Amino acid sequence: MTQGPQAASLEHIAALLAHDPAHAEEQARELLKRMPGDPRALLIVGSARRRRGDAAAAHRVLAPLAKSYPRAANTHYELGATLAALGRTREAIAALRHATALNSDLPEAWRVMGELLFQEGEIASAEAAFAEQLCASVQNPALKGPAKAMSQGRLDEAESQLRLYLTAHPDDTAALHLMGETLVRLGRYADAEILLAFCLELDASQDGARFAYADALFRQQKAGDAIVQAEHLLRRKPDDPAYLNLLAACLGLIGEDERVSAIYARLSEAYPKQPRIWLNYGHALRTAGRSHDAVAAYRRCIALAPDLGDAYWSLANLKVAEFAPEEEATMRAQLARADLGTDNRLHLHYALGKALEDRADYASSFDHYSQGGRLRRAVLPYDAGETTALVQSSKAVFTAEFFAAREGSGDVSRAPIFVVGLPRSGSTLIEQILASHSAVEGTSELPEIGLIARGLGWMGVGAPESAYPAQIAALDREGGSALGRSYLDKTRIYRKLGRPFFIDKMPNNFQHIGLIHLILPRAKIIDARRHPLGVCFSAFKQHFAQGQAFTYDLADLGRYYRDYVDLMRHFDGVLPGRVHRIVYEDLVEDTESVVRRLLDYCDLPFEESCLRFYQNARAVRTVSSEQVRRPIFRDGIAQWLHYEPWLDTLKNALGPALEHWRTR
């Protein structure tokens, strides 16, 4: 065993590897002249050759060394990394598994293994390896426990331990990073954003914390801020698939569809075995209107991962291709598995529901939609009482006297056109019609009004639950104008065409009409309304990518629709004529008359292109993307009648709204 000066020399040489591998190799070879065959010096030579891009030479050194020292974890890590560079992926994974079995505290070994498993399409194993990488990266013994708890999904335990530790060590960046990651996984994105921003203030070099920060921003739909962080990460690692995937997701939020498709085309070529890349590529192709290419991408995903329920649901949700008998059989076989995860299971139920609906087996179809809804409802809690309370407090705050006293408040821009209502109410069709006008740009379902409301205490963020909408009363004229300007500034990123008007199609904004009127008094507001049984059942059988927690239970849906009608009736009374209502069934029956009235309300001249909306090649990001690329059809109006025998719960929850849903 080398001792004294020689050991110190080896440590010095090894330290050179990270920044000067050529010099490290030169010194290691000099040392080998004095100590022929020394395994540590040989390991440095092999590592240096790999880092200098000569993997073949590295392998000639490392392969015999690893054979001679089967329990040398670092040697087997270097061999694994070298085999990966040579493209010998399965051998590399085996060597890295051996290295981490010998020593689990090798973060780089876990990282390389995770990347290789990801490349091979082994999703669960890759995620497990990356979780181990995070644990191994933690040097402080006091943080090992919470890191392990977080990686194993014991999130409440991890949060409790980290909170206790941070009380005594508030500036510990490793703990802040772990807490931020934990909060992201708990879905507490606003809290995670604050914590991770502080972490990066203390140490801007933490790429792991920056990625978590970008993720927290993205999940709040703060696309512009998230893009800045993702591009920062990509400057350091331009080919990292996780960074590229996050950037693509953020770009999708702001309508950079060509860049999104280009990223996924690049990733699908680099990682052809990775099913989730094909899934995301399919989503991008769908948005761009390339439905046949999207079908091919989804089917490629299914071939790679027959248990990935999201791929089947995405194919069903595209509504342009029916499932083949063998695909339906595969779905049933997957559902029969006891070990199938909840997310995959619920997606498969929705996909089978659609397949059976296409075959007119409505009883079985309804059963699968219901099973999917129950699974989703169990992991996405919803309190109908909170929505009712918000409606009642909004009616109490937003009176005619309230608005009269604040006349002249807000920004005077006429640019925004809001389309509100329930999802599946025809709002995408209205958006497509308006976006076919030369003066109007369609954007997406924008989060900005919700974010402004959160800043005023909505959803218990930033203030007690009771503060919204009551807190709006404290806004003076300048405050209302500032919020209007903030909305316009933050939505500018979504506007690409330079047209004078743009559409914000977030349906849930009906809850914030009082706020919208106060901060943007000249903006147009359109209420997209549809028969309650039609819209509610259409929402019930739809699995939404995020939000819309009220749609997974028929009783919740009925009560939500009733609250929506109640609130809209209130605003019709206190702000007469402020909101323009379009009934979907009327739009289908007499399209031109309804469109002309809509354009009159928006102070826009009639253009024939609005009647030929299906020729508009713009990207569409909602589940109705393919429907609005066809002329108006009547098939969907009475679709709910096939399921009427099972809708009593919905009818009872709707109450009087079932009969009086059209009335003002």
pLDDT interval class at 234 (50, 70, 90) = very high
Can you read off the two tokens belonging to residue 524?
A: 């147009």
Report, as an integer, the average pLDDT of 205-225.
Answer: 94
* Cα R_g (the chain), whole angstroms: 29
Report domain extents, the chain: 4-165, 325-379, 384-658
Is 337 exposed, middle or buried (CB count within 10 Å of its CB: 0-12, 13-18, 19+)? exposed
Task: Report how far residue 497's alpha carbon sits from residue 222's, in angstroms, rounded to the nearest whole number.
Answer: 21
Report the pLDDT value the prediction gives residue 394, as an integer from 0 to 100: 96
Task: Report how far residue 487's alpha carbon sits from residue 66's, in angstroms, rounded to the nearest whole number.
Answer: 61
Report, as an integer, the average pLDDT of 246-261.
Answer: 92
Can you read off the two tokens belonging to residue 657?
A: 């709204």
Report, as an integer, the average pLDDT of 305-314.
Answer: 94
- Please say if the pLDDT value at position 464 is more than 70: no
Least confident of 197-211, 334-348, 605-619: 605-619
Q: What percent of the chain has pLDDT over 70?
A: 95
Report the pLDDT value the prediction gives residue 627, as an integer from 0 to 100: 59
- Please say if the pLDDT value at position 83 is more than 60: yes
Q: In what order do the strands lie in the sheet with 501-504?
A: 440-444, 501-504, 416-421, 524-529, 579-583
What are residue 535's phi and psi, to 5 degrees?
A: -75, -40
- Among residues 576, 573, 594, 434, the alpha carbon closest in space to that of 529 is found at 594
Q: At what angle do helices 173-185 and 207-219 cross, to 10 degrees?
A: 30
Report the pLDDT value the prediction gives residue 659, as an integer from 0 to 100: 92
pLDDT interval class at 535 (50, 70, 90) = very high
Q: At CB < 8 A and 24+ separation, what contacts does 544-550 make? A: 544/423, 544/623, 547/508, 548/423, 549/377, 549/380, 549/381, 549/382, 550/382, 550/384, 550/387
The two domains 4-165 and 384-658 share their CATH topology (first three levels equal): no
Report, as an integer, the average pLDDT of 610-633.
Answer: 68
Report, as an integer, the average pLDDT of 162-168.
Answer: 96
Q: What percent of the chain has pLDDT over 90?
A: 80
Report the pLDDT value the prediction gives residue 626, as an integer from 0 to 100: 53
Domain 4-165 indexed as CATH 1.25.40.10: yes
Report the pLDDT value the prediction gives residue 444, as an integer from 0 to 100: 86
Task: Report how far residue 74's alpha carbon sits from residue 55's, in angstroms, rounded to the nearest whole number.
Answer: 17
Task: Report how far residue 510's alpha carbon sits from residue 539's, in angstroms, rounded to the nearest whole number.
Answer: 17
- Please say if the pLDDT value at position 549 is more than 80: yes
pLDDT interval class at 173 (50, 70, 90) = very high
Report the pLDDT value the prediction gives residue 458, as an integer from 0 to 100: 86
Dihedral angle sign, alpha carbons of residues 25, 31, 33, 35:
negative
Task: Tell me the average pLDDT of the chain.
Answer: 92
> DSSP letters of 549-588?
GGGGSHHHHHHHHHHHHHHHHHHHHHSTTSEEEEEHHHHH
Is 449 exposed, middle or buried (CB count within 10 Å of its CB: 0-12, 13-18, 19+)? buried
Task: Report how far residue 51's alpha carbon sits from residue 96's, in angstroms, rounded to the nearest whole number.
Answer: 17
Report the pLDDT value the prediction gives residue 369, as an integer from 0 to 100: 97
- Please say if the pLDDT value at position 266 is more than 60: yes
Distances (CA, A) of 195 to 147, 165, 190, 213, 604: 17, 14, 9, 9, 46
Contact by Cβ (8 Å): 276, 246: no
Least confident of 41-45, 119-123, 364-368: 119-123
Report the pLDDT value the prediction gives residue 654, as an integer from 0 to 100: 97
Report, as an integer, the average pLDDT of 603-623.
Answer: 82
Helices marked H in 186-240 — which ranges? Answer: 189-202, 207-219, 223-236
User: Identity (one letter) of the amino acid at 42?
Assistant: L
Separation of CA 493 from chain center: 18
Report the pLDDT value the prediction gives residue 466, as an integer from 0 to 100: 53
Can you read off the two tokens belonging to residue 223?
A: 């696309």
Task: Report how far residue 134's alpha carbon sits from residue 178's, in angstroms, rounded to the nearest whole number.
Answer: 9
Least confident of 33-37, 232-236, 487-491, 642-646: 33-37
> DSSP letters of 242-265?
HHHHHHHHHHHHTT-HHHHHHHHH
Report the pLDDT value the prediction gives residue 465, as an integer from 0 to 100: 47
Find all residues with CB under 8 Å of 185, minimum gap 6, and list them. 150, 155
Distances (CA, A) of 570 to 294, 393, 398, 544, 578: 43, 12, 9, 29, 12
Task: Tell me which H or E stretch contains 441.
Answer: strand 440-444
Report the pLDDT value the prediction gives residue 630, as an integer from 0 to 100: 63
Q: What class does CATH assign to 384-658?
A: alpha beta
pLDDT tens-digit readout, 286-300: 988 888 999 999 999
Report the pLDDT value the prediction gives residue 120, as an integer from 0 to 100: 92
Task: Report how far residue 127's alpha carbon sits from residue 213's, in angstroms, rounded to the nearest whole number.
Answer: 19
Task: Tell me which H or E stretch contains 524.
Answer: strand 524-529
Contact by Cβ (8 Å): 73, 99: yes
Instruction: Kindly report the pTM of this predicted structure.
Output: 0.86
Report the pLDDT value the prediction gives residue 462, as an integer from 0 to 100: 45
